[in-house]
Amino acid sequence: LFSSVELAPRDPILGLNEAFGADTRADKVNLGVGVYYDANGHVPLLRAVREAEKARVEAMLPRGYLPIDGIALYDQAVQRLLFGASSPLLADRRVVTAQALGGTGALKVGADFLRHLNPNAPVAISDPSWENHRALFEAAGFKVVNYPYYNAPTHGVDVDGMIAGLEALPKGAVVVLHACCHNPTGVDLGAGDWKRVIDTVRKHALVPFLDIAYQGFGDGIDADAVAVRLFADSGLPFFVASSFSKSFSLYGERVGALSIVTASHDEAVRVQSQIKRVIRTNYSNPPTHGAAVVSAVLNHAELRATWEVELGEMRDRIREMRRGLVQRLAAHGAKGDYGFIEAQRGMFSYSGLSAAQVERLRTEFGIYAVGTGRICVAALNDGNLDRVAEAIAQVS
Ligand code: PLP
Ligand code: TYF
């Protein structure tokens, strides 16, 4: 049965994690995977999460099944975070939200639903994008193409190229858009650019699928939702995959959501029934713990305030590390101007390092980065910053 099964390629990022784990050097540094580490190099367990978990354990609750689309109070809290508590979309009950297995699970449920709706549509992702975008939409049966995004010489977005790329797509094409903290480049569209994208989406009848995995890591919870809010104002239908993996530091609990904005409550009811069918035939219903914790935090004023402080601390620490990296690169005489690293948003920096330079960082210094030159700034701390900057200076 399995004699002709070929070895599948490793995920370029998660595969790097395995190699890092096997590395025996004591001073190794993992700048590969997109995980936030605290100043001591640990994945934090947030205080708000700890308190909500403690209360849950003490309550000793029974473990029945959740509804197919998850915890209702969780889904409503997700909607308020994304669209704003006073959004008319929520008052009009035009948004369908289903708890999902992380942002990835949300993308997959959305992709499976879209495949029924628009079976022949291509899916367009940014060039470059999160590696799993292409793999996930291809696995759902779509042809995946790229639209221009990153402009390497300016370290910015090629907005004109992006718009031209979107204009060239056929009607009904699905466009995957990073709502904030673009992975892997760290460069985002401004509000004016988003308006141009929305005009293009409207004119060419494209289907927007927003992916927001880092809300709160850029400029703040509401500021990072600007794209979601502008799409909400546009009156267009759209999809949003959101994740609490990073913002609650709950990676392994798989907490995310799929939200779909429809034209009316009647549409929403029908779309919700189809989404539930996709989930039912896939994993039946989602797990409880992570979403119950997030729901408890978001729906409790004090815990919510604690979480916002902690999210702000993570955001500020990343900014500090960006500044520190730029300063130390200069101090170690790295060739070129790395000032752009400070302007980038979220966990990542597209450093401009070549595959050969990344390889040298790994073999000579035990510093792991993605082959594209992406580094996770959130893995830097005062204990490894100098070593990383010195190594980059040496290979640059
Ligand atoms: N989308 C993007 C752009 C991401 O960077 C990530 C990172 O993990 C995800 C989705 C998936 O998030 P999750 O771990 O919640 O599945
Ligand atoms: O880009 C990253 O590093 C994160 C984590 O298949 C991740 O988004 C990476 C690869 C993957 C799933 C999650």
Binding site membership of 102 for ligand 1 (Cβ less than 6 Å): yes
- Rounded to whole angstroms, what are the CA distances from 25 to 28, 42, 53, 385? 6, 18, 36, 17
The CATH classification of domain 56-300, taken from the options 3.40.50.11740, 3.40.50.720, 3.40.640.10, 3.40.50.360: 3.40.640.10
Residue 12: is its pLDDT beyond 90?
no
Of ligand 1's listed atoms, the one at least distance from the Cα of 244 is 15
Ligand nearest to the CA of 240: 1
Of ligand 1's listed atoms, the one at least distance from the Cα of 129 is 3
The secondary structure of 66-91 as a DSSP string is PPTT--HHHHHHHHHHHH-TT-HHHH
CB of 247 closer than 8 Å to CB of 216: yes
Ligand nearest to the CA of 180: 1
The pLDDT of residue 336: 87
- In this prediction, residues 83-88 reach a mean pLDDT of 98
- In this prediction, residues 381-389 reach a mean pLDDT of 97
The pLDDT of residue 221: 98
Which tens digit of pLDDT belongs to each residue from 301-360?
A: 999 999 999 999 999 999 999 999 999 999 999 988 999 999 999 999 999 999 999 999
Confidence class for position 10, pLDDT limits 50, 70, 90: confident
User: What ipTM goes with this model?
Assistant: 0.97
Residue 174: is its pLDDT beyond 90?
yes
**Alpha carbons 371 and 302: distance in angstroms, whole number:** 42
The pLDDT of residue 98: 98
Binding site membership of 132 for ligand 2 (Cβ less than 6 Å): yes
- Residues taking part in catalysis: 130, 211, 246
Which tens digit of pLDDT belongs to each residue from 249-299?
A: 999 999 999 999 999 999 999 999 999 999 999 999 999 999 999 999 999
Q: Cα(213) to centroid of ligand 1, in Å?
A: 5
- For the chain, the domains span 14-45+303-395, 56-300
Binding site membership of 183 for ligand 2 (Cβ less than 6 Å): yes
The CATH classification of domain 14-45+303-395, taken from the options 3.60.15.10, 3.10.450.40, 3.90.1150.10, 3.20.20.140: 3.90.1150.10
**AA letter at 373:** G
In whole numbers, what is the pLDDT of the chain averaged over residues? Answer: 97
Same fold, 14-45+303-395 and 56-300: no
Q: Percent of the chain having pLDDT more than 90?
A: 96
Q: Cα(170) to centroid of ligand 1, in Å?
A: 27
Residue 134: is its pLDDT beyond 90?
yes
Binding site membership of 211 for ligand 1 (Cβ less than 6 Å): yes
Residue 91: is its pLDDT beyond 90?
yes
Binding site membership of 33 for ligand 2 (Cβ less than 6 Å): yes
**Alpha carbons 28 and 23: distance in angstroms, whole number:** 8
Q: Cα(309) to centroid of ligand 2, in Å?
A: 25
Ligand nearest to the CA of 368: 2
Q: Cα(210) to centroid of ligand 1, in Å?
A: 12
Of ligand 1's listed atoms, the one at least distance from the Cα of 133 is 1
Residue 46: is its pLDDT beyond 90?
yes
The secondary structure of 129-195 as a DSSP string is --HHHHHHHHHTT--EEEEE-EETTTTEE-HHHHHHHHHTSPTT-EEEEE-SS-TTT-----HHHHH
Binding site membership of 130 for ligand 1 (Cβ less than 6 Å): yes
Confidence class for position 14, pLDDT limits 50, 70, 90: confident
